Structure 1
Amino acid sequence: MDKVPMTVRGEKLLRDELEVLLKRRPLISKAIGEARELGDLKENAEYHAAREEQGICEAQIRDIEYKLSVAQVIDVTKMTNTGKVIFGTTVTLIDVNTDEEVKYQIVADDEANIKEGRISVNSPIARGLIGKMEGDEVNIQTPGGTKEFEIDAVDYI
């Protein structure tokens, strides 16, 4: 089984979500028990809703446990900053054509959120940046066309 890279932040978020779901388990079981006491299960909406909620909760628990089992947590704060773009680093880019500055952290697919400045390691921009050095100019093929960036800073934070 291949390991999947994950940031320390991503692992913490998954563990926190798992903890919440595990605390919901007994509450859902209690709701199922109370709904059973109401009588005929065929026409018991509360029972069916509680069972559906239980199924969703269990599926989410299995999904998170699987993700954690295949995760290779990478803590870039413990690495020496060489100026090289790697998984987990935060990269400040300057668009050569517009002088616009953007900052991205390269994270796992599940952690990506462009509005928060986190891009997937499998995104075109991240693939174009991995292995490059601070100060390099890179041409990246994006869905909107080729963009030229200068790597202004690489932070291991």
Structure 2
Amino acid sequence: MSRGFVKEDDQEEIPIVPPRADLPEGVTNYVTPVGMNQLLEEKQSLINERDNLDAINEKERRIVVNHINAKLQLLQNRITTAKVVDLENQPQQEVRFGATVTLKIGNDKNFQKYQIVGVDEADIAKGKISFISPIARLLTNKKVGEQAILKLATGERVFEVIKITYL
């Protein structure tokens, strides 16, 4: 039947799902073991939400299920492409993926601590930065005592590596 003969009320809304954290084309989707567990927990949570859905009517239910399924599809792609990095196998004396790095930034007396993680794990409020971020890329391969310089429009910011741990 032609769509021209369908009532407007019968047409399904196409779910708008925000994209996941940006992972540039061709970049390996590295994740920590904790990050992989978070992705799997998110998947299970979405499945539970879909399976236990209490909708007012069938149309509303279909719309919500379509939205959850679209989110699950994006998430499943991330899980399928994820490459879990064993933090114990990382070079313990260098900053690499998964490292928690204690930094002295400029002349600041207080130290900052960041862990370099996958794009889906990144949360600056929790001290987790994505491995594709400019700071993470500057710090990669640095050792304790070495400095990384970030060039900004207003000058330079110097990061000195104080401590490296892998948890």
Q: Would the TM-score normalized by the shorter structure come out above 0.5?
A: yes
> Could you tell me which of 42, 48, 52 is aligned with 1:17?
42
- SS in structure 2 opposite 1:86? coil
Is the CA contact (8 Å cut-off) linking 1:93 and 1:150 kept in structure 2? yes
C-alpha distance in 2 between matches for 1:2 and 1:129: 18
Aligned-residue offset at 1:48 = 2.6
Residue number in structure 2 paired with 1:98: 108
Unaligned stretches of 5+ residues in structure 2: 1-25
> Does structure 2 retain, via aligned residues, the 8 Å contact 1:81–1:156?
no
Partner of 2:33: 8
Q: TM-score scaled by structure 2? A: 0.76
RMSD: 2.1
Size of the aligned set, in residue pairs, is 142
1:41-91, CA deviations, whole angstroms, 9 ceiling, x for partnerless residues? xxxxx3232111101110111111110110000121x22653100011100
TM-superposed deviation, 1:113? 0.6
Counterpart Cα distance in 2 of 1:133 and 1:15: 33
Describe the shift of the 1:125–1:145 C-alpha distance in structure 2 as closer, same or farther (beyond 3 A). Answer: farther
For the 8 Å contact 2:94–2:142, the answer to whether it is kept is yes
The 2-side partners of 1:25 and 1:5 are apart by 28
Alignment of 1:7-156 (within 5 A): 7-28=32-53, 31=54, 46-76=57-87, 78-79=88-89, 81-142=91-152, 145-156=155-166
Provide TM-score, normalisation by structure 1. Answer: 0.80
Point out where structure 1 has 5 or more consecutive residues left out of the alignment.
Answer: 36-45
Distance in 1 between residues matched to 2:106 and 2:117, nearest whole Å: 24
Identical aligned pairs, as a percentage?
Answer: 30
